[in-house]
Amino acid sequence: MGKHLNYLEAFFALAHHLNFTRAAEGLNISQPSLSRQIATLEDSLKIQLFLRNKHQVSLTREGKFFLERINPIYESLCDEFSKLRQEATELSGEVTIGCYREIGQSYYFEKILEFVKDHSHVRFTMQYLSGQEIIQGVSEGTINFGILAKPNADLDLRCNKLMDETVILVTNSDNPNHAPPETLPIVAYRDRDPILAAFFRKNKANYTPQKIEYYCRVNSHSSMVQALRSQSHLYAVVPELAVEEELSKGQLKQVSGLIAYEGLYLIEAPRSHYSRLHLELKDFLLSLK
């Protein structure tokens, strides 16, 4: 097949130039090589395509007919080869990302949309899951990347830090207290929330509530905000990104002096080989630090 395409290239070049020297130069081959390719094509077709003498080259009647018939097919074939080459050089494939709902909705989903916008042949699935579900999916190979708090070191996973997520204590802007009370009425994300525990541990020198009184637990930052706005005496420990809009609008306020940073990590299963899409998306996500 490859040789026949070379013969067709030789035919079209000579039909265009009607000069062996110029046609050979255009193909970057020698004139004897061009002559051999034309002769081979004519032998294969059992027809004479060109009339040749010392002064000129011209198409025979059969050669003109062959040109008219084969030219649309040849152009279409060249277009298909061009598309295939383009697809081979463009990034393509499918990827699945597992992420905490809140940071995914407020930040990473939009960023991955930006990445895909520049790579039209890439398709992705974003799944909002718990930390354990993310780890399980990455370990089993159903998820390519996980975005979560740092997992245990004994897990057989590759782990790269994405960012330090700023965690703050917030309350309703109408809350008259300038400092949190000794008995803290809290809206928690879940029972035994590790972020809540880590926040008070890291701020131990500045504030330690004598008692935490759980007003409610709800695994949605938007619902936590709703609770804070409905009851001015309540408090919540949340990632700053999750309440950025409410803080800017003055609906919530941060309790000053209390802040913590929680690492967010990108995890992947160890492989001997990663696809080009996997490597480029990983570089993109890590560049967002």
What pLDDT score was predicted for residue 62? 94
Cβ–Cβ under 8 Å, residues 175 and 228: no
**Residues, the chain:** 289
The tokens 């930390």 sit on which residue?
Answer: 131
pLDDT class of 211 with cuts at 50, 70, 90 = confident
The arrangement of secondary structure in 2-89, i.e. its CATH architecture, is Orthogonal Bundle (1.10)
The tokens 């520049």 sit on which residue?
Answer: 118
- Domains 92-163+265-286 and 166-261 fall in the same CATH topology: yes
Q: What pLDDT, in 10s, does the model give residues 121-179?
A: 899 999 999 888 999 999 999 999 999 987 777 788 999 999 988 899 999 999 998 77
What pLDDT score was predicted for residue 1? 44
Rounded Cα gap, residues 53 and 275, in angstroms: 56
The fold of 166-261 is D-Maltodextrin-Binding Protein; domain 2 (3.40.190)
Residue 152 token pair? 């245990």
Rounded Cα gap, residues 240 and 248, in angstroms: 11
Contacts of 131 (CB under 8 A, 6+ apart): 100, 148, 149, 151
The domain spans of the chain are: 2-89, 92-163+265-286, 166-261
Instruction: Characterize 260-274 residue by residue with b for buried, 16 or more Cβ atoms within 10 angstroms of its Cβ, and e for exposed.
Output: bebebbbbbbeeeee
Cβ–Cβ under 8 Å, residues 174 and 182: no
pTM of the model: 0.61
Rounded Cα gap, residues 168 and 198, in angstroms: 11
* Edge-to-edge strands, sheet with 211-217: 121-128, 92-99, 145-149, 252-268, 158-172, 235-239, 183-188, 211-217
Q: What pLDDT, in 10s, does the model give residues 18-51?
A: 999 999 999 999 999 999 999 999 998 999 999 9
Q: Domain spanning 92-163+265-286: which CATH class is it, in words? A: alpha beta
